[in-house]
Structure 1
Amino acid sequence: MTSHLNNLKATLSYQNPGFQPDMNDRKTQYRRTVSYNDYYTLPETELPEQRPTISSLPITHVSIPIPETTVPINHHEIKDGRQRFRWNLIFNVLVWIICPLPFWLPFLSNKAAIYVLPSIQGTFVLIWFIISILAARNAFLIFHYRHRDYSTMLTTEERNKIRHVVAISCYKEPLELIKRSVDTLAAQTEVNRISMVISFEERTPDVHLKCQTLEDYYSKTGFRDLIFTIHPYGIPNEIPGKCSNSNYALRTAVQQLKLNDEQNGNHILVTTCDADSQFHRQYIAALTYQYVKDNYPTLTTIYQPPLFYNWNLDGLSFFTRITGLLRSTLMLGALIPFSINTMSIFSFSLTLAKSGNYVHPAYQMDDIICLIRWMGVTGRRLSIHMVPVPVLSGPTCGRTIEYEFMEWARQARRWTIGAAEVFHYFMVKSRHIPFLTSLSWSLTFLIYYGILLCSSGLYSLTSFLATLFLVEEIPINIIYTTYLLFSIQMFSFLIAFIIDIFIPRLLDVHECIFFLRNLFHFLMTPFVLIAYSLVEFYALHEVMIRGKKVCKHGASNKNTL
């Protein structure tokens, strides 16, 4: 793809008290710029693989400076999070009830321990087995429909009715990484229906140079609109992170593209993603097809593509790879089928976003907080439907194995703190949600995060140690049952490795994993889960003691991607 030289027509300088400029950097005098491109297309000679049906229109390029008071944020003061009782303490209670149980139950009753401990372990194994079967089913559907051309499955009227806004949030990611992600959106079969929003943070190094470079690069790639936003640093009642960045970017895009018509909002789909997202070229078409097939569920459904973390995954350590494979399996088999929560990359109607007051900028996990916030608006449990094409997302990584492990642990800590904190937010807001809806989602969320992820790994360890050293006179049938449960558990993990053989190929990912190395990773899966649970155990107690102060978004290190 060739670079095109177009200069920003205008910039705006303003004073932001929360931003401390580098006096040696002349670019710090410019704070925020939005670049807007009217509808245009590339001639077929430049990109022959792209849409021949797109008409060639004159290119109109306008740069729009955004004054500081133009984009309303509309959020309330952040509480300090030091109340005596916070709902995230339920996670701590569950962990302390479940994990130490094998250590004290044998002293209370050896006979009870003989039967209770394997029964609890059997419950965990059954949950994992159900999740793996559902994941295998969804993976089979994705692979079975791999040759579908979703663009041809829509009528011209249906395609013309739906418009897309894609917002990618960036901070310190390398420019080449951002370009690799946006390239996959520029290669969409329905690229002419995409309003592309690239949102940076004000403290991003060389932010204006990056905006200029990306504008030059993508000014003629077929996007309907191309917008750059720079989210100011130091806005009151916000925490830095994707939530506040996405909130600002979406509000700015709606304002500049004049998308305030409530009726048209039903036919505008918004997709938010990270800077390390590589889309299947049919994603926008498949999303449109699914939305039309579901009869335009404006206020009832959020769409989630299955995420796979095979971006250089074969070159990373066993703990990173195992975590990536299990996260994909959990998404396919739990998060989507049970509508627990979206993750990283998800799509929704603009009407739903407006009704829910966009993204809460005082939290760190936009995927879960949006679901919770919007359930309060709609008064019902939102459904999560799968977009039937895979999307590639970057795993945690590091320059050395030591840095990679620290990054892995840091992100596991962040995910756990975020999940606990948004659960508190949900319980506070649950009075606006019907009781049965609130009860069903909160129980599902607690079972998934509090029991399956945080407790099951540690319980397996404590149960094994108790069986080995504390429980006496175990019947032979109980021993055989334990072996059977372990076999079923390993079979559930095996499904994750089988899925990894087929689905990444749909994204043109070709990995080199020797059989013995793959076998080693498979055998290490239980130990990685235990290590992950230990990090979660630490994170839950950190948020219990320090409260809201630890709820900050630490951007993942993506340099080695």
Structure 2
Amino acid sequence: MSPQHHALKATFSYQNAGFQSDTNDRKSQYRRTVSYDGYYILEQEQNSKSSSLSSSPIAHVSIPIPDLRVPTIDHNIKNGRQRFRWNLIFNVLVWIICPLPLWLPFLSNQVAIFLLPSIQCVFVFIWFIITLLAARNAFIIFRNRNQDYSLLLSTEDRNKIRHLVVISCYKEPLELIKRSIDTLAVQSEVNRISMVISFEERTPDVHNKCQILQNYYIQAGFRDLIFTIHPYGLSNEIPGKCSNANYAIRTAIKQLKLDENNNDDYILITTCDADSQFHRHYIAALTYQYIKDNYPALTTIYQPPLFYNWNLDASSCFTRITGLLRSTLMLGALIPFSINTMSIFSFSLSLAKAGNFVHPAYQMDDIICLIRWMGVTHRRLSIHMVLTPVISGPTCGRTIEYEFMEWVRQARRWTIGAAEVFHYFMIKSRCIPFLTSLSWSITFLIYYGVLLCSSGLYSLTYFIAMEFLLNEIPTYVVYTMYILILIQMLSFSIAFIIDIFICRLLNIDECIFILRNFFHFLMTPFVLIGYSFVEFYALHEVMIRGKKVCKHGASNKNMLQ
């Protein structure tokens, strides 16, 4: 089949003539126009900005001709079965694990007395190991908090690596998008960045937004600035970040003619959301880590630790607890065990090309890229941590009711997406060595199917069984249950302790009264149980309705401004 194409609806691009200069004149000229307040905020002084605009000519401004064609996929995508899919394994796991304490006592009281606490021990042990690994990685990040990675790069290293940063946007407020791009505009290696801002065609007033952002960042010091508009309704696509990022990366490569060089190993691509706030040394730290790892272009994906402390102190308990636990799980599980990347990640152009970029028919770009590229490289890809944290926006809403609905909606989307990409993995596993496929699938199932979806509901049914269904429980079993509760709460406390140090590292002034913080700590198991109920519903929704529920619902970010 011939590749499918679609006309590029609109792009704007410019190139900075001074990007190759080793002097700091041009960079310092821009630095005089900004005030870097704290960790992530950039403010433009309009008068200084106006004066700098006239003194820094642009090499050229171009609008590609309308018939420029950008491939979005390299072959037709098969729809496959709609309901009998591999994600049903998640449903089987949930139905085996969660109701077990409710029926096993009727079958054998003696077996239940010893088996049920043993299973709970396994869950608590997994949580405890994850939180210990998270604490270790958080300590490493905190220890390197003052490291200026740009000073560790030689001139040769700095000029060798080029960066393509793609930010996917839809209906987010323009000020939110600007605030995220501001953190890239103050990067210590800003002149190595080709900035790609990708909108959806259905974005309100999209062309005007592109023009406003172009005018605002035309002197920011980026090597290139490219705007893309992802067409709506392309065949074999679903709306969302996957199709948006796939289109943006392919367009940028064509615009910058990156497909004409043989240095793909030296080009690093970073994809992010519109609510991403980068540490000012992220690009330098990524470059340093990539060089230190000896250019692992086809074997490694880089993941910065994500923290959700963007107005997190103003969020409700369920949003804040979920944000803290997501950061802890990333630090202690997703990165150490190379399960999957999340939201913001970096990779080489070689890996992107070899893996046929991003699959546009799925909604979870982070997991789908990892799976797709494992099939190409025939190995389990490693996930390495970039030692500079990134702030990502939590779920939010105008009122606590709207915030709760947004929290439920996103939990549902994440669960459906994880289940759906597991089906994709099982289909593609024949292209991956058996042991590699087996190890990753088991890890993925334990994390999503057992730990996130089942452990919370099992804890609830186990408590019910201990209180109402089991008879003649030995005293030591009761004491064991209390010890497990203490260990579990200790694991949760580590997440709150990490948050204290991370706020100091990020220079974020959060106002959390100690009693409110303690209340959130006590509510953690209940939030996890509520989250598990949402996941339980989502797994059965995708089981009944099939692939048609696998759509990307953009998060509401209006309250993050």
- TM-score normalised per structure 2: 0.92
Q: What pairs up with 1:351-430 in 2 under 5 angstroms?
A: 351-430=350-429
Q: What runs of 5+ residues in structure 1 fail to find an aligned partner?
A: 1-15, 18-29, 51-55
1:92 matched to which residue of 2?
91
d(CA) in 2 for partners of 1:262, 1:483: 63
1:34 matched to which residue of 2?
12
Kept in 2: contact 1:75–1:360 (CA 8 A): no
Question: In the alignment, does 2:118 pair up with 1:119?
Answer: yes
Amino acid at match of 2:122: T
2:72 counterpart SS class: coil
1:470 matched to which residue of 2?
469
d(CA) in 2 for partners of 1:432, 1:324: 35
1:11 matched to which residue of 2?
none
Deviation digits for residues 42-98 of structure 1 (CA, Å, limit 9, x no counterpart): 463441499xxxxx9852122132535521122444544545531000000000000
Question: In the alignment, does 2:492 pair up with 1:490?
Answer: no
1:47 matched to which residue of 2?
31
d(CA) in 2 for partners of 1:234, 1:291: 37
Q: What runs of 5+ residues in structure 2 fail to find an aligned partner?
A: 1-5, 20-25, 35-54
Q: What pairs up with 1:233-312 in 2 under 5 angstroms?
A: 233-261=232-260, 263-312=262-311
Kept in 2: contact 1:279–1:390 (CA 8 A): yes
Kept in 2: contact 1:391–1:507 (CA 8 A): no
d(CA) in 2 for partners of 1:547, 1:278: 35
Deviation digits for residues 359-380 of structure 1 (CA, Å, limit 9, x no counterpart): 0000001000000000000000
2:172 matched to which residue of 1?
173
1:440 counterpart SS class: helix
d(CA) in 2 for partners of 1:303, 1:504: 23
Q: For the structure 1 residues 49 and 133, does the alpha-carbon distance in structure 2 shift closer, same or farther, using more than 3 Å as the test?
A: farther
> How many Å apart are 1:38 and its aligned residue?
3.5
Kept in 2: contact 1:163–1:194 (CA 8 A): yes
Deviation digits for residues 459-493 of structure 1 (CA, Å, limit 9, x no counterpart): 00000001100001100000011000110000000
Q: For the structure 1 residues 35 and 378, does the alpha-carbon distance in structure 2 shift closer, same or farther, using more than 3 Å as the test?
A: same
d(CA) in 1 for partners of 2:474, 2:67: 72
2:43 matched to which residue of 1?
none
Kept in 1: contact 2:279–2:388 (CA 8 A): yes
Kept in 2: contact 1:75–1:361 (CA 8 A): no
> How many Å apart are 1:509 and its aligned residue?
1.4
1:505 matched to which residue of 2?
504
d(CA) in 2 for partners of 1:43, 1:493: 44
Determine what percentage of the aligned residue pairs are the same residue: 78
2:48 matched to which residue of 1?
none
d(CA) in 1 for partners of 2:246, 2:287: 23
Kept in 2: contact 1:283–1:389 (CA 8 A): yes
d(CA) in 2 for partners of 1:525, 1:294: 38
1:27 matched to which residue of 2?
none
> How many Å apart are 1:227 and its aligned residue?
0.3
Amino acid at match of 1:507: L
> How many Å apart are 1:437 and its aligned residue?
0.5
Q: If each structure's helix is expressed as a fraction of its own residues, which one has the higher value? A: 2
> How many Å apart are 1:504 and its aligned residue?
2.7
Q: For the structure 1 residues 66 and 394, does the alpha-carbon distance in structure 2 shift closer, same or farther, using more than 3 Å as the test?
A: farther
Deviation digits for residues 238-269 of structure 1 (CA, Å, limit 9, x no counterpart): 10000000000000000111111453110000
d(CA) in 2 for partners of 1:81, 1:461: 37
Amino acid at match of 2:14: Y
Deviation digits for residues 341-374 of structure 1 (CA, Å, limit 9, x no counterpart): 0000000001100110100000001000000000
1:12 matched to which residue of 2?
none
Amino acid at match of 1:64: I
Give RMSD over aligned pairs: 1.6
Kept in 2: contact 1:397–1:404 (CA 8 A): yes
Deviation digits for residues 132-182 of structure 1 (CA, Å, limit 9, x no counterpart): 000000000000011111011111111111110000000000000000000
d(CA) in 1 for partners of 2:10, 2:76: 24
d(CA) in 1 for partners of 2:182, 2:255: 24
Kept in 1: contact 2:30–2:219 (CA 8 A): no
Kept in 1: contact 2:310–2:393 (CA 8 A): yes
Amino acid at match of 2:13: S
Q: For the structure 1 residues 339 and 39, does the alpha-carbon distance in structure 2 shift closer, same or farther, using more than 3 Å as the test?
A: farther
Kept in 1: contact 2:16–2:221 (CA 8 A): no
Q: For the structure 1 residues 540 and 378, does the alpha-carbon distance in structure 2 shift closer, same or farther, using more than 3 Å as the test?
A: same
2:230 matched to which residue of 1?
231
d(CA) in 2 for partners of 1:46, 1:224: 14
Kept in 2: contact 1:81–1:548 (CA 8 A): no
d(CA) in 2 for partners of 1:248, 1:363: 13
**Of 481-490 and 36-45, the range deviating more from structure 2:** 36-45
2:344 matched to which residue of 1?
345
Kept in 1: contact 2:83–2:546 (CA 8 A): no
Q: For the structure 1 residues 59 and 319, does the alpha-carbon distance in structure 2 shift closer, same or farther, using more than 3 Å as the test?
A: same
d(CA) in 1 for partners of 2:154, 2:33: 21
> How many Å apart are 1:510 and its aligned residue?
1.2
1:431 counterpart SS class: helix
d(CA) in 1 for partners of 2:302, 2:27: 32
d(CA) in 2 for partners of 1:137, 1:196: 33
d(CA) in 2 for partners of 1:465, 1:94: 20
Q: For the structure 1 residues 386 and 449, does the alpha-carbon distance in structure 2 shift closer, same or farther, using more than 3 Å as the test?
A: same
Q: Aligned pairs, how many?
A: 529
- TM-score normalised per structure 1: 0.92
Kept in 1: contact 2:306–2:330 (CA 8 A): yes
d(CA) in 1 for partners of 2:67, 2:228: 12
Kept in 1: contact 2:302–2:383 (CA 8 A): yes
1:166 counterpart SS class: strand
2:346 counterpart SS class: strand
Q: For the structure 1 residues 210 and 380, does the alpha-carbon distance in structure 2 shift closer, same or farther, using more than 3 Å as the test?
A: same
Kept in 2: contact 1:39–1:57 (CA 8 A): no
1:72 counterpart SS class: strand
2:37 matched to which residue of 1?
none
1:44 counterpart SS class: helix
Deviation digits for residues 195-223 of structure 1 (CA, Å, limit 9, x no counterpart): 00000000000101100000000000110
d(CA) in 1 for partners of 2:98, 2:338: 27
Amino acid at match of 1:194: I
Runs of 4 or more, structure 1, over 6 Å off, are none
Kept in 2: contact 1:95–1:451 (CA 8 A): yes
Kept in 2: contact 1:76–1:237 (CA 8 A): no
2:519 matched to which residue of 1?
520
d(CA) in 1 for partners of 2:72, 2:192: 27
d(CA) in 2 for partners of 1:248, 1:443: 32
d(CA) in 2 for partners of 1:429, 1:58: 50
Q: What pairs up with 1:547-558 in 2 under 5 angstroms?
A: 547-558=546-557
> How many Å apart are 1:32 and its aligned residue?
1.7
Amino acid at match of 1:35: S
1:13 matched to which residue of 2?
none
Q: What pairs up with 1:11-160 in 2 under 5 angstroms?
A: 31-40=9-18, 42=26, 44-48=28-32, 59-68=58-67, 70-80=69-79, 82-83=81-82, 85-160=84-159
Amino acid at match of 2:288: Y
1:73 counterpart SS class: strand
Amino acid at match of 2:391: L
**Of 82-91 and 237-246, the range deviating more from structure 2:** 82-91
